[in-house]
């Protein structure tokens, strides 16, 4: 979250995703409570034993939220538009995004689309993380 400007957009191209979270319990709870930010997630946890019993899911819901600062557009391979929007994300069509952002040719770092002039930061392997940018400290 520290690396994305207020009003920005995070586009997640996820062709292999079949559920939310790491297991079926997380998937069910994420679908039930959604990514609504820290205050709403903490409030939900206080009133629901199932969240108190699944603090890893609570952490996931908090870390996965933009806290209302920027938009998250999720482009899944196996989840529906309704699935994505029900948890608080915007839906993006994966095939359209693949045409717009050719992940086979892009390299990690700043990019500029020569046609549209759009500047964006591409991360080829998000598992490596983008936790902070030195200039924001």
Specify the pLDDT at position 2: 63
- Whether residue 10 is predicted with pLDDT greater than 80 in this model: the reply is yes
Pairing of strands 71-76, 109-112: unpaired
CA gap 102, 83 in Å, rounded: 25
Helices (H), the chain: 24-33, 38-46, 49-52, 55-63, 81-86, 94-100
Taking residues 103-129, what's their average pLDDT? 86
**Contact assessment for residue 84 and residue 91, using Cβ atoms and an 8 Å cutoff:** yes
Count Cβ atoms within 10 A of the Cβ of residue 136 and give its class: 0-12 exposed, 13-18 middle, 19 or more buried: exposed
113 contact partners, CB below 8 Å, separation of at least 6: 119, 120
Question: What confidence category does residue 33 fall into, taking pLDDT thresholds of 50, 70 and 90?
Answer: very high
Q: What is the mean pLDDT of the chain?
A: 89
Specify the pLDDT at position 136: 54
Specify the pLDDT at position 125: 79
pLDDT per residue as tens digits for the range 65-90: 999 999 999 999 999 999 999 999 99
**Against a cut of 0.95, is the pTM above it?**
no
Specify the pLDDT at position 129: 61
Kind and range of the H or E run holding 120: strand 119-122
**Contact assessment for residue 76 and residue 94, using Cβ atoms and an 8 Å cutoff:** yes
């Amino acid at each position: 979250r520290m690396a994305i400007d207020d009003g920005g957009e995070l586009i997640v191209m996820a062709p292999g995703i079949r559920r939310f979270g790491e297991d079926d319990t997380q998937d069910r709870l994420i679908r039930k409570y959604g990514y609504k930010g820290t205050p709403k997630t903490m409030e939900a946890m206080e009133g629901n034993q199932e969240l108190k019993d699944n603090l890893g899911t609570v952490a996931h819901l908090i870390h996965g939220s933009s806290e209302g600062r920027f938009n998250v557009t999720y482009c899944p391979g196996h989840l529906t538009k309704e699935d994505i929007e029900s948890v608080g994300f915007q839906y993006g069509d994966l095939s359209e995004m693949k045409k717009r952002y050719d992940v086979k040719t892009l390299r990690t770092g700043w990019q500029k689309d020569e046609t549209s002039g759009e500047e964006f930061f591409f991360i080829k392997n998000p598992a490596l993380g983008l936790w902070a940018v030195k200039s924001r400290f």
